[in-house]
Structure 1
Amino acid sequence: MSAAAAGGGRRRRPRVVVAFDSTHEALECERLCRDAGVAGRLIPTPVSIRADCGLAWAMPPASRGEFERLVAPGVTCAGTYELEL
């Protein structure tokens, strides 16, 4: 039984994860998201995602539309994924 299932640890939740090919793009995404008030944070890129950068932006699924409207046009994303983290 996992620690989360046993009542300890953190419960996995659905997240939208945006991967990048450069650290510059990841940091620019973070800045744009903060300025636009888009919920989320930079995380290490999950091993299930292939990208050249070690950072990714993770956000709640409810923030995806706002991200795509306000932030995505200003950054180059390597891919967008729906994962449980």
Structure 2
Amino acid sequence: MGRRLEARTVAAFDSTHEALEAERICRERGVAGRLIPTPTAIRADCGLAWAMPPEVRGDFEEAARHGFVVAGLYDLEL
């Protein structure tokens, strides 16, 4: 029996710096999620992505206004 897939919103970044800044700011602001290797379904210049529950997408977008740039947001089953 395999692992059960869950809906996740995944943020891709153009650089490792942006991904690490997103992690720092999200942790400071209490936005649920974590850095993961960028899924193969996403084309991105950075090998890191932020995976979060879909219900915190608005909180994540608000956090982004405070210091990091997102290359794209994707709804995936991970």
Class of the TM-score when normalised by the shorter of the 2 chains: over 0.9
Q: Which residue of 1 aligns with 2:46?
A: 53
CA positional deviation for 1:65: 1.0
The aligned length equals 77
Q: Which residue of 1 aligns with 2:37?
A: 44
CA RMSD of the aligned region, Å?
Answer: 0.7
Larger radius of gyration between Structure 1 and Structure 2? 1
Unaligned runs of 5+ residues in structure 2 are none
Distance 2:61 2:71 in 1: 14
Distance 1:50 1:75 in 2: 19
- CA deviation profile, 1:11-63 (whole Å, cap 9, x unmatched): 10000000001000000000001000000000000011011000000000011
User: Runs of 4+ in structure 1 displaced over 4 angstroms?
Assistant: none
- Specify the code of the residue in structure 2 equivalent to 1:10: R
TM-score, structure 1 normalization: 0.87
Unaligned runs of 5+ residues in structure 1 are 1-7
Three-state SS of the structure 2 residue aligned to 1:47 is: coil
- Specify the code of the residue in structure 2 equivalent to 1:63: V
